[in-house]
Amino acid sequence: MHAILWPDDYLPGTTENFVSNEVIVDGLSALEVWPWLSEAQRWPDYYENSADIVFHDGEGPALFAGRRFAFSTFGFPVEAQVTEYVEPALGMPGRVAWHGWAGDGEEHLDVHHAWLVEDLSGGRVRILTQEVQKGKPATVLAKTRPNPMLNGHQDWLDGLVGAARRSRQV
């Protein structure tokens, strides 16, 4: 199985907060899941913690390397830029990652959120999402129980799988 590719400044274990969520499900392919992840304006359809998605260049809804966008999540308005974008292909995982930031001064939050979607043997797909965070809000989030990032990202994964499954039935 493949791993997330991390920029040196955002290596897990070197930041204030890190969360990792993963699902492996049968009956779906990476190509069936990908549109639900790569088109940010679809996120609120299956993940209630995502809202107010805006593309700065007026285009959309697809993400691509370098694309700037904004959205709200976990009570934070986040500015973001896609740093990695590779669609899934035969034998290769799909990858999308963005650098995001919110707040100023003591309330500044700096994040790198990455996704990996890959086909596995036996008609299974693996979806991995990981996020590192820097800043005082990240320190608070890391100590909060239950962990809102861990639980929120699990909701995102579950919603993503559900949306892909429902689209097969149409």
* Residue 3 resides in a domain: no
Q: Is residue 156 part of a domain?
A: yes
How many percent of the chain have pLDDT more than 70? 99
- Rounded to whole angstroms, the Cα distance separating 81 from 67 reads 6
Position 2 in a domain: no
| CATH code for the domain of 58 | 3.30.530.20
Residue 51 has pLDDT above 80, yes or no: yes
Inform me whether the pLDDT recorded for 56 exceeds 90. Answer: no
**What range defines the domain where residue 71 resides?**
8-168
Flag whether 1 is in a domain: no
Would you say residue 20 has pLDDT above 70? yes
User: Helices (DSSP H) in 3-55: which residue ranges?
Assistant: 30-38, 43-46
Angle between helices 30-38 and 148-168 (to 10 degrees): 120
Q: What is the pLDDT of residue 76?
A: 81
pLDDT in tens, 108-129: 999 999 999 999 999 999 999 9
Confidence of residue 170 (pLDDT cuts 50, 70, 90): low
Q: Are 151 and 117 in contact, with CB atoms under 8 Å apart?
A: no
pLDDT given at position 61: 83
DSSP-derived secondary structure for 112-146? EEEEEEEEETTTEEEEEEEEEEESHHHHHHHH-SS
Average pLDDT, the chain: 95
Tens of pLDDT, residue by residue over 1-15, are 899 999 999 999 999
Q: Is residue 141 part of a domain?
A: yes
Q: Please measure the distance between the N-terminal and C-terminal CA atoms of the chain and give it in whole angstroms.
A: 31
Q: Is residue 164 part of a domain?
A: yes
Number of domains in the chain: 1
Residue 77 lies in a domain: yes
Digit-coded pLDDT (tens) for 74-104: 878 999 999 999 999 999 999 999 999 999 9
For residue 94, is it within any domain? yes
